[in-house]
Amino acid sequence: MEISTLTIDGVKQGLRARRFSATELAGEALRFARAENSKTNAYLTFCEERALSAAAAVDAKLARGEDPGPLGGVPVAVKDVILTRGVRTTCGSRLLENYVPPYDATAVVRLEQAGGVIVGKTNCDEFAMGSSNENSAFGPVRNPAAPDRVPGGSSGGSAAVVAQGTAVVSLGSDTGGSIRQPASFCGVVGVTPTYGRVSRYGLTAFASSLDHIGPFGRTVKDSATLLGVIAGRDEMDSTSAAAPVPAYDALLDGNVRGVKIGLPREYFKGLASETGDLIASGIETLKQLGCEIRDISLPSTDYAIACYYIICTAEASSNLARYDGVRYTFRSPSSPSLSAMYRNTRGEGFGAECKRRIMLGTYVLSAGYYDAYYLKAQKVRGLIAGDFINAFAEVDAIIAPVSPFPAFKIGEKINDPMEMYLSDIYTITGDLAGIPCMSVPCGKTAGGLPVGMQILANHFDEARMFRLAAAFEKETN
């Protein structure tokens, strides 16, 4: 079996034709994942027991002639900020090195109910804070396309395992681009659904008003199938949406003639690079497919970075207050008093980027600065979301870059946090507005580095976004 290029349909066919059993597939995925991990460091934990028992259940269903579910036997990897009952979940943090959650995230429950086989938990930036996966306490992930380069972040591991082929699909999380940017850097499909489309129950909170769980896949269809499985109302997350979930993977008919696409001029000014050229040729392809292309404006874009980093750090500073040495495994050995326990546990447990963001968030929420920073940022967020509402009155979808540049070298940007933040400009706006957006591969640089093109759509319009992406994928493959 050629596991590294398998799709969900390929797994289904292989099982049906008895070319392999789900147990054999899980065993091969685990063997391959372990062998590849010395090259990429993409997995933090393997779930052998859980994978084999899930696979055995799929085989038993098949033997009884039952439908094993839309993900029956499919090897899946899960980002290590998403809780798995009984399987260590570190969030890429020293603080949670030994944390074993007492419950499963809703997305995990749903993907296992659909027959998915979780092979392992993937490396990520600490508490999903970063754009390069270099902020993991367990070492950086290496990009499978170029081992001296980052895979992107924060869901770097989840992108890398799909690119290297040790999992067919994976779950990541996105707060400011953490699914789309690594998808772009690793050359896979990555989807950030509408805010509330997927339950956040069991997703470790970073910035609650911006956090999303979403899928990675090697194809648009696989990503669409996985989203269809995990999406939908969950009473454990009051922000999860009740809107019905269409069969996304059944709507990929390839017809995109007459679809109106907007190109936000603020995203393309100054994008003179190989990335810009690849996106331009992607747009040309969409034009040939019959899409109508027009210029649009998202005038508040210049303020998005400042707005995002105020809101996300403010929310992070309160969400991360719970890691105080009482409940979550790590307590500083130097805890002579309650306040020393708090300070030392957090000082020793958190890495530099988490500390920086906790400090910033504390500052923008503090008395005297709240109105100038936090409240102002919330108003600017309203303007940014309003820009998209106006745009979607005119167009069906928006095309944009994902990142201003392809995967950079490990170590290249880690000492300049502001420069790292600025590179998130094209992805954070979608999170601030809560609209669905995705990265779809659109070619490689002369040096062989993958580049993704971003598609953004209106709230709950994932089906149209997938249809566009599938037509594009078919045309460019």
Partner 1 sequence: MAELANLHLSEEEVGKFLHDLDDILVHMDRLNEIDTSGVEPMAQVLYDAEETATLREDVARASVSNRDALANAPFSGAGYFKVPEVVKR
Handedness of CA 176, 408, 188, 103 (dihedral sign): negative
Closest distance of CB 52 from partner 1, Å: 24
Q: Which is nearer to partner 1, 293 or 383 (CB)?
A: 383
DSSP for 162-180, written as a single string: HHHTSSSEEEEEESSSTTH
Binder among 46, 185, 206, 373 for partner 1 (CB under 8 A):
373
23 with 52: CB under 8 angstroms? Answer: yes
293 in contact with partner 1 (CB under 8 A): no
From residue 209 to residue 248, the character string flagging contacts with partner 1 as x (rule: CB under 8 A) and all else as - is x-----------------------x-x--xx-xxx-----
418 in contact with partner 1 (CB under 8 A): yes
Q: Which is nearer to partner 1, 177 or 196 (CB)?
A: 196
Phi and psi torsions of 341, nearest 5°: -60, -50
40 with 139: CB under 8 angstroms? Answer: no
Residues 6+ apart with CB under 8 A from 261: 283, 286, 291, 292, 293, 294, 395, 396, 397, 398, 399, 468
Give the up-direction half-sphere exposure of residue 402: CA atoms within 13 A in the CB hemisphere: 36
Closest distance of CB 68 from partner 1, Å: 29
Residue with tokens 């580049």: 451
297 in contact with partner 1 (CB under 8 A): no
Closest distance of CB 236 from partner 1, Å: 10
For the record, the structure tokens of 351 come out as 């890495």
Which H helix or E strand runs over 183?
A: helix 180-186
Where does this chain touch partner 1 (CB under 8 A) — which range of 62-70, 107-115, 173-181, 346-354? 346-354
Closest distance of CB 98 from partner 1, Å: 8
Looking only at the bridges linking them, the beta strands covering 189-192 and 260-264 are unpaired
From residue 378 to residue 397, the character string flagging contacts with partner 1 as x (rule: CB under 8 A) and all else as - is xxxxxx-x------------
Number of residues that bind partner 1 (CB under 8 A): 77
Binder among 136, 344, 423, 454 for partner 1 (CB under 8 A):
344
Q: In this structure, what DSSP letter does residue 406 have?
A: S
68 in contact with partner 1 (CB under 8 A): no
**Helices (H) and strands (E) in the chain — how many of each?**
16, 11
Q: Which is nearer to partner 1, 7 or 329 (CB)?
A: 329
Closest distance of CB 384 from partner 1, Å: 8
Q: Which is nearer to partner 1, 21 or 194 (CB)?
A: 194
405 in contact with partner 1 (CB under 8 A): no
Binder among 276, 330, 404, 444 for partner 1 (CB under 8 A):
330
Site for partner 1 in 80-119 (CB under 8 A): 98-100, 102-103
Q: Which is nearer to partner 1, 41 or 313 (CB)?
A: 313
Please indicate whether residue 61 is annotated as part of the active site: no
Binder among 198, 259, 261, 305 for partner 1 (CB under 8 A):
305
Of the residues 79, 121, 221, 413, only one is catalytic, namely 79
443 with 281: CB under 8 angstroms? Answer: yes
Give the closest residue to 133 by CA, choosing from 229, 210, 67, 44: 44
Distance of CA 357 to the CA centre of its chain: 20
Amino acid code (one letter) for 2: E
Closest distance of CB 212 from partner 1, Å: 10
Closest distance of CB 456 from partner 1, Å: 14
Of the residues 131, 154, 155, 317, only one is catalytic, namely 154
Binder among 34, 45, 56, 328 for partner 1 (CB under 8 A):
328
Please indicate whether residue 178 is annotated as part of the active site: yes
Closest distance of CB 242 from partner 1, Å: 5
271 in contact with partner 1 (CB under 8 A): no
Site for partner 1 in 36-65 (CB under 8 A): none
Site for partner 1 in 2-31 (CB under 8 A): none
Buried b (16+ CB within 10 A) or exposed e, 22-54: bbbbbbbbbebbeebbeebbbbbbbbeebbbeb
Buried b (16+ CB within 10 A) or exposed e, 89-118: bbbbbbbbbebebeebbbbbbbbbebbbbb
Q: Which is nearer to partner 1, 170 or 192 (CB)?
A: 192
Site for partner 1 in 421-450 (CB under 8 A): 421, 433-434
326 in contact with partner 1 (CB under 8 A): yes
366 in contact with partner 1 (CB under 8 A): yes
342 in contact with partner 1 (CB under 8 A): yes
Give the closest residue to 192 by CA, choosing from 433, 396, 384: 433
Site for partner 1 in 455-474 (CB under 8 A): 459-460
d(CA 311, CA 401): 23
Closest distance of CB 56 from partner 1, Å: 26
Q: Before 154, cis peptide (omega within 30)?
A: yes
Of the residues 178, 300, 317, 403, only one is catalytic, namely 178
d(CA 399, CA 223): 19
Handedness of CA 384, 388, 394, 397 (dihedral sign): positive
Catalytic residues: 79, 154, 178
